[in-house]
């Protein structure tokens, strides 16, 4: 069967693929369909034709899978925030573990047996400590609205999350179950305030307007609550009025900042920042260490699950004999400080300046005197000159962004021929890509999946590597 674009066909979903899509097979050809579960029988339309696979959109759920559950959120079928609410959590982690095994086998060409049973999350809802909501002038229409005979206007003030694959359209949220319940209440309040006071949302096509993002940070171990108002213009009076209203309605707020992003890039990081109320940061803990977190600094999104992740990394690093530890992509120093008591010396490297400032502050606050932090782009900083100035590491922990490590960094790690290397990844496919190269020098002994992001297809994993001449000893 040719399966042309636009063709409507009945499919039986057999399994799941990375990025959460269901897989059906037609004459041996894989068809990927989002929003489905293994066991579903559906009517679907082919939306994309590729040589080795097809992509499709579900038009009708003919017969639901026995494992299907009713999503908690009304937006679950259209929102990009939660792609797996229709799948019970015990099945989510089962599929995620299998995805890691598949990546290790297919991409890294390693035995899937090195993948350990997944570490699941105790709280599959309301687990995020940070939510980044967006504002826009065009809202995403529901399937019901699209199918209406009469015209449905998609213009107006919208706030929520970007529709999947669309930077210019916002799903106007009426609820959200990813962060503490106060998070959505804050979003709803800001949305209503802006509408009532004629404060326009940012228009990505015209590059005009005012409100761009609302970023909310909460702390698991303190009562800190940050509201970060990201605007297109620097208008102190406008922001002051909104802040005053927020503080009156939500006395729980401990700090308010205003990031001004007057550039075309869509990020929530401003070209400059004003601290309007409170200290301009929150404090949270991982293990026995406390961390100062500014609005634009990276911090693990699921605090309590991060402790489990870091315990794995600590065990894999096996620093009982001390030595010099390098922490690549160190962020605000969470892993560095978590390991510092086991190492003689810790050196962290990070690209974001405010994160390095936080890391140095965090080291001082936690009385950690054997850690230092270096600002720089990893591919340019982590070179032979850096090693000459800072010394050779005995162990390296690397925790790169979703895209994985730059090829130059992978090459440097391979050339170093370390005793121990621990790879922490938020994208097992790019980790597997890097492991394929690193396995020529290191034995990959174990890979531990850790579920940091319930209701989504995302999965973290930690890999334990040892130099080939060393691995036979442990």
Specify the residue for token string 């790019």.
Answer: 430
Rounded to whole angstroms, the Cα distance separating 309 from 451 reads 9
Residue 79 annotated to the active site: no
* 319-378 per-position pLDDT tens digit: 988 899 999 999 889 999 999 999 999 999 999 888 899 899 889 989 999 999 999 998
**Rounded mean pLDDT, 294-311:** 91
Q: Where are the domains of the chain?
A: 8-68, 92-123+293-471, 130-286
Please pick, among 82, 176, 194, 426, the residue that the annotation labels catalytic.
Answer: 426
* 2-22 per-position pLDDT tens digit: 788 999 999 999 999 878 899
First to last CA, the chain: 52
The answer regarding whether domain 92-123+293-471 maps to CATH 3.40.50.150 reads: yes
Length of the chain: 474
Query: What value does the CA radius of gyration of the chain take, rounded to a whole number of Å?
Result: 24
How far are the Cα atoms of 9, 79, 396 from residue 64, in angstroms, in the given order?
16, 20, 47
Say whether pLDDT at 396 is over 50: yes
Number of Cβ within a 10 Å radius of residue 54: 23
**Residue range 8-68, CATH number:** 2.40.50.140
Say whether pLDDT at 164 is over 80: no
Q: Which two tokens stand for residue 274?
A: 């004003």
Q: What is residue 447's three-state secondary structure?
A: strand
Are the C-beta atoms of residues 49 and 5 closer than 8 Å to each other?
yes
Are the C-beta atoms of residues 256 and 216 closer than 8 Å to each other?
no
Angle separating helix axes 89-106 and 428-438, nearest 10 degrees: 30
Mention every residue, 6+ apart, whose C-beta is less than 8 A from residue 138: 154, 155, 158, 168, 169, 170
Say whether pLDDT at 152 is over 50: no
**Rounded mean pLDDT, 160-180:** 82
- Architecture per CATH, 130-286: Beta Barrel (2.40)
Q: Spell out where 64-186 has E strands.
A: 130-138, 155-162, 170-172
8-68 shares its CATH topology with 130-286:
yes
Mention every residue, 6+ apart, whose C-beta is less than 8 A from residue 331: 297, 298, 299, 350, 352, 355, 359, 399
Question: By C-alpha distance, which of 307, 467, 469 is closest to 393?
Answer: 467
């Amino acid at each position: 069967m040719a399966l042309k674009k636009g063709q409507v066909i009945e499919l039986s979903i057999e399994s799941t693929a990375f990025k959460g899509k269901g897989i059906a097979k037609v004459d041996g050809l894989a068809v990927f369909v989002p929003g489905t579960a293994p066991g579903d029988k559906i009517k679907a339309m082919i939306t994309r034709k590729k040589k080795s696979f097809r992509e499709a959109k579900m038009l009708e759920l003919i017969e639901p899978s026995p494992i299907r559950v009713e999503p908690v959120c009304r937006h679950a079928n259209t929102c990009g925030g939660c792609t797996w609410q229709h799948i019970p959590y015990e099945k989510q982690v089962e599929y995620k573990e299998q995805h890691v095994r598949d990546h290790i086998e297919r991409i890294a060409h390693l035995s899937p047996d090195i993948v350990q049973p997944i570490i699941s999350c105790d709280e599959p809802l309301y687990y995020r400590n940070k939510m980044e909501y967006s504002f826009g002038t065009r809202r995403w229409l529901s399937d019901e609205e699209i199918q209406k005979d009469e015209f449905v206007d998609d213009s107006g003030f919208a706030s929520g999350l970007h529709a999947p694959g669309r930077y210019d359209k916002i799903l106007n949220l009426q609820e959200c179950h990813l962060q503490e319940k106060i998070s959505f209440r804050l979003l709803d309040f800001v949305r209503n305030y802006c509408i009532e006071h004629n404060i326009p949302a940012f228009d990505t096509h015209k590059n005009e307007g005012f409100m761009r993002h609302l970023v909310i940070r909460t702390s698991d171990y303190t009562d800190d609550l940050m509201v970060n108002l990201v605007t297109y213009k620097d208008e102190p009076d406008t922001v002051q009025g909104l802040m005053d209203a927020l503080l009156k309605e939500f006395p729980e707020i401990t700090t308010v900042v205003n990031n001004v992003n007057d550039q075309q890039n869509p990020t929530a990081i401003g070209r400059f920042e004003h601290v309007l109320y409170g200290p301009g940061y929150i404090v949270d803990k991982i293990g026995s260490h406390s961390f100062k977190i500014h609005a634009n600094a990276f911090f693990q999104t699921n605090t309590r699950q991060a402790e489990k992740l870091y315990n794995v990394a600590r065990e894999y690093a096996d620093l009982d004999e001390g030595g010099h530890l390098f922490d690549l992509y160190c962020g605000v120093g969470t892993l560095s400080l978590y390991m510092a008591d086991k190492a003689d010396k810790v050196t962290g490297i990070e690209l974001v300046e405010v994160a390095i400032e936080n890391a140095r502050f965090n080291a001082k606050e936690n009385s950690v005197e054997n850690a230092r932090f270096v600002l720089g782009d990893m591919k340019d900083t982590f070179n032979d000159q850096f090693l000459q100035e800072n010394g050779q590491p005995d162990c390296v922990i690397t925790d790169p962004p979703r895209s994985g490590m730059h090829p130059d960094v992978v090459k440097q790690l391979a050339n170093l021929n370390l005793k121990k290397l621990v790879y922490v990844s938020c994208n097992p496919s790019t980790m597997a890509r890097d492991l394929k190269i690193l396995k020529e020098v290191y034995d990959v002994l174990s890979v531990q999946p850790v579920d940091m992001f319930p209701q989504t297809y995302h999965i973290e994993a930690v890999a334990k590597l040892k130099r080939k001449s060393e691995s036979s000893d442990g």
